[in-house]
Amino acid sequence: MNSNQQILSSNSLKFECETGNYHTFCPISCVAWLYQKIEDSFFLVIGTKTCGYFLQNALGVMIFAEPRYAMAELEEADISAHLNDYMELKRLCSIIKKDRNPSVIFWIGTCTTEIIKMDLEGIAPKLEAELGVPIIVARANGLDYAFTQGEDTVLAALAQSFGRKSSNQEQLKHNPSNSSNLILFGSVPNAVVYELTNELNSFGVQVTGWLPAKRYTEFPLLNEKDFVCGVNPYLSRTATTLMRRRKCQLIGAPFPIGPDGTRAWIEKICSIFNRPTDGLIERENKIWKNLEVYTVLLKGKSVFFMGDNLLEISLARFLIRCGMVVFEIGIPYMDKRYQGAELLLLEKTCEKMGIFLPMIVEKPDNYNQVDRIKDLAPDLVITGMAHANPLEARGINTKWSVEFTFSQIHGFSNAKNILELISKPLQRQKNNDNLIYTLAK
């Protein structure tokens, strides 16, 4: 056993919690991608003018796009009186039904609805019966750890409310072999849905449906013992709801981010359905070969994650596999059960690359992080928008973490998108250094 092997054999993941403040977007921002994903939906955000200002700035005015969301503003004089709440929500939803005729209306609760104990869950069933439109209540408020958890709250509400198959005939229609179905959960672009579904189909694994689907009317029906598997690391509530409320079986797999994660995700699902994965490793190696134009630039470069969107573990694991050094993985919230397979793959990746495991800091204190960044001098800091400009002013390269949320990063073909985002600030710095060197000569 060489010295590196001796070090790594005693090396294990180390976690810290600094109880710092959360510097992330409000989770109601999930409306930005969910209303586009679920094409026959309408989102009604119930909150204050501050919530409206945030949505308008975060999503843009979109005058010509006519987005399928609106803001129900609570005034200072409003109190949580059952009659007043009901009548006002009925008025708004009647207008929404008349103007847009959605297949489903989502009520997105905010901090204010939590504080005044607004009984959205009590009002929704009565109004749903009266209007004849399904109403799903999701409390995606700013009390969450990260803005991506807004999607988690919405999908968990959907998973809890959506009906089971009602008859043996319908079960046989959708599942002739009478075996367990496979439902994948996580909001990703339709192109990614197509790619991941086809990847599994090529190995003989049939995907019954996605949560969410392109349309509410196409959402998969859930049976007990159906298999479910997530594609995003921030969906632990959805996973818990599917297991506890719907009695589904969760497939614990690394997430399909990067060629390594995608291969491990496919392998795990195929192992559950006893399907061979012949040629999968060769497919992964081919993707790595195509990524060499990026990995040559990234090899040996260092990166520091401040923590923002809960994608940090998966991204860090992929970048380590690309040859980068990760000093620290900050993350707003860590569910070690849901991300268990991802954490294990992180350990194996560090062992394979012969480097130390990075420290994982939950709820990091950003003041402490800035001190560590000064000491470590990483080549790149992946951070929330609030800290990017101050760090850049101090000569530190940054990349907004939110860009990974809104980019296509899942599957084999999209691994290059991640590396393009990472490479741009490093290439820019390299060009600046070359310019300074030329001027100095």
Domain presence at residue 165? no
Residues 287 and 381 in one domain: yes
Domain housing 200 = 173-272
At 306-365, the pLDDT tens digits run 999 999 999 999 999 999 999 999 999 999 999 999 999 999 999 999 999 999 999 999
Note whether 242 and 222 are within 8 A (CB).
yes
Classify strands 227-230 and 209-211 as parallel, antiparallel or unpaired. Answer: unpaired
pLDDT score recorded for residue 439: 40
Answer whether residue 433 shows pLDDT above 80: no
pLDDT-based confidence at residue 432 (cuts at 50, 70, 90): low
Asked if residue 116 has pLDDT above 60, the reply is yes
The DSSP bridge partners found for residue 45 are: 71, 108
Same domain, 17 and 31: no
What pLDDT is attached to residue 4? 37
Within-domain flag for 398:
yes
Residue 201 pLDDT greater than 70, yes or no: yes
The tally of domains found in the chain comes to 3
Q: What is the pLDDT of residues 222-257, one digit of tens each?
A: 999 999 999 999 999 999 999 999 999 999 999 999
Position 79 confidence tier, pLDDT thresholds 50, 70, 90: very low
Residue 77's pLDDT band, with cuts at 50, 70 and 90, is low
Cβ neighbour number for residue 62 with a 10 Å cutoff: 11
DSSP-assigned beta bridge partners for residue 159: none
Q: Are residues 232 and 217 in the same domain?
A: yes
**What is the reported pTM?**
0.89
pLDDT of residue 169: 37
- How do residues 350-385 score in pLDDT, each as one tens digit? 999 999 999 999 999 999 999 999 999 999 999 998
130 & 86 share domain: yes
Q: Is residue 167 in a domain?
A: no
Is residue 329 located within the same domain as residue 263?
no
3-state secondary structure 16-75: EECCCCCCCCCHHHHHHHHHHHCCCEEEEEEECHHHHHHHHHHHCCCCCCCCCEEEEECC
Same domain, 293 and 433: yes
Of the three residues 272, 296, 330, the one that is the final residue of a domain is: 272
Q: Is residue 158 part of a domain?
A: no
Same domain assignment for residues 79 and 210: no
Indicate if 328 and 418 belong to the same structural domain: yes
Domain termination site, one of 204, 237, 272 = 272
Note whether 79 and 116 are within 8 A (CB).
yes
Average confidence (pLDDT) over 75-98: 76
Cα–Cα dist 226/394, whole Å? 52
End-to-end alpha-carbon separation of the chain, Å? Answer: 49
- Residue 166 in any domain: the answer is no
Do residues 287 and 430 share a domain? yes
| pLDDT tens, residue by residue, 7-37 | 334 458 889 999 777 777 889 989 989 998 9
One domain for residues 131 and 104: yes
Is there a single domain that holds both residue 286 and residue 367? yes
CA–CA distance, 36 with 354 (Å, rounded to integer): 43
Quickly tell me which residue has 């995907």 as its tokens: 207
Residue 164 is assigned to a structural domain of this protein: no
Angle between helices 258-272 and 312-321 (to 10 degrees): 110
More confident residue, 386 or 428: 386
Residue 153 falls inside a structural domain = no
CATH number of the domain at 300, please.
Answer: 3.40.50.1980
pLDDT of residue 171: 43
- Confirm whether 149 is domain-assigned: no
